[in-house]
Structure 1
Amino acid sequence: MTHKHHGLSIGINRVNERFFVSLKAQGTLTHRDYETITPMLDTALAAVNDPTIRIMIDGSEFEGWELQAAWDDLKLGLKHGSEIERIAIYGNSQWQHWVARIASWFIAGEVRFFDNYIDALDWLCDNKADAANQ
């Protein structure tokens, strides 16, 4: 029997003193996935004390969205876009690079695409940029 995995995994991670929300997208996301995951993500983001949030998205197994799910994703970005300081998108497809560029139009913070997970993590957790901005 073949199983086709799809959906989002959510976590709160910490590297040194930097906390961030981690998301791993797998397969093709559906509207039903967003109906399940949106309340979880809202709860996870509400639990973060800092008014600015950093997010790591692992899209290495992500294939895309159904049409309604793409709309759900846009609504989610608009809802939380002002709270987001940085989003690092780790993936392996050129179209994901373009998704990162488009996402930056709807997010107050920075969005960058990386094809190397360690580079994405280094940028996401970079505290030097924080000190320079203060």
Structure 2
Amino acid sequence: MPVTTHSIDFEASTTDNVIHLKVSGKLTKEDYELFIPELEQWIERHGKIRILFEMSDFHGWSVSAGWEDTKLAFKHFSDIERIALVGETAWEHGMAIFCKPFTAGSVKYFDHSQRDEAMRWITG
């Protein structure tokens, strides 16, 4: 079921454990309050999940959203198998390196031109 906030589109696959997050603008605490319950239901349903995190005109997180993201990462450290980050800028590429200590899963960055490859990797 798709959930949309002003900065996040959340789509969960109906056939597998893949969640697709499309983000733009700046993420806020309110964004997390809306999509975390959906994410946690998906974890309950599937156990380990995979996330395709697609960024377009993304400007990062507010301070409170960054804290929510950190709490989420620690709470679900072992629940995420893979994270594919799809972006368009050098700092987004750096996020893949920054994210690795916050999850037991594999994290890989893909440029927007490699979106199909990211989809194959996240579902493979």
Do they fold alike, i.e. is TM over 0.5?
yes
What does the per-residue CA deviation read over 1:35-65, in whole Å, with 9 as the maximum and x for residues that have no partner? 22222221222222xx321111111232211
CA deviation profile, 1:88-124 (whole Å, cap 9, x unmatched) = 0111111111111111111001001100211211211
Question: How many pairs does the alignment contain?
Answer: 118
Tell me, yes or no, if structure 1 residue 73 matches structure 2 residue 69: yes
Q: State the secondary structure of the residue aligned to 1:6.
A: coil
Which position in structure 2 is the counterpart of 1:35? Answer: 33
The question of whether the paired residues in 2 share the 8 Å contact of 1:30 and 1:65 is answered with: yes
CA RMSD of aligned residues (A): 1.8
Report which stretch shifted further, 107-116 or 72-81: 72-81
Structure 2 matches for 1:1-134, cutoff 5 A? Answer: 6-13=6-13, 18-48=16-46, 51-115=47-111, 116-126=114-124
Tell me the TM-score normalised to structure 1 length.
0.78
Q: Which structure 1 residue ranges, 5 or more long, are not aligned? A: 127-134
Counterpart-to-counterpart distance in 2, 1:23 and 1:120: 13
CA contact (8 A) 2:43 2:79 kept: no
| Structure 1 runs of 4+ with >3 Å offset | none
**Structure 2 alignment gaps of length 5 or more:** none
Task: Tell me how far apart the structure 1 counterparts of residues 39 and 16 of structure 2 sit (CA, whole Å).
Answer: 19
2:17–2:48 Cα contact (<8 Å) kept: no
Contact kept? 1:9, 1:24, Cα under 8 Å = yes
Letter in 2 for 1:122: R
Identity between Structure 1 and Structure 2 (%): 36
CA drift of 1:20 comes to: 0.8
Q: State the alpha-carbon separation in 1 of the partners of residues 16 and 29 from structure 2.
A: 32
What is the TM-score of this pair, normalised by structure 2? 0.84
- CA distance in 2 between partners of 1:68 and 1:60 (Å): 21
Q: Is the 8 A contact 1:6 1:25 kept in 2?
A: no
CA distance in 2, matches of 1:43, 1:66: 25
Greater Cα radius of gyration, structure 1 or 2:
1
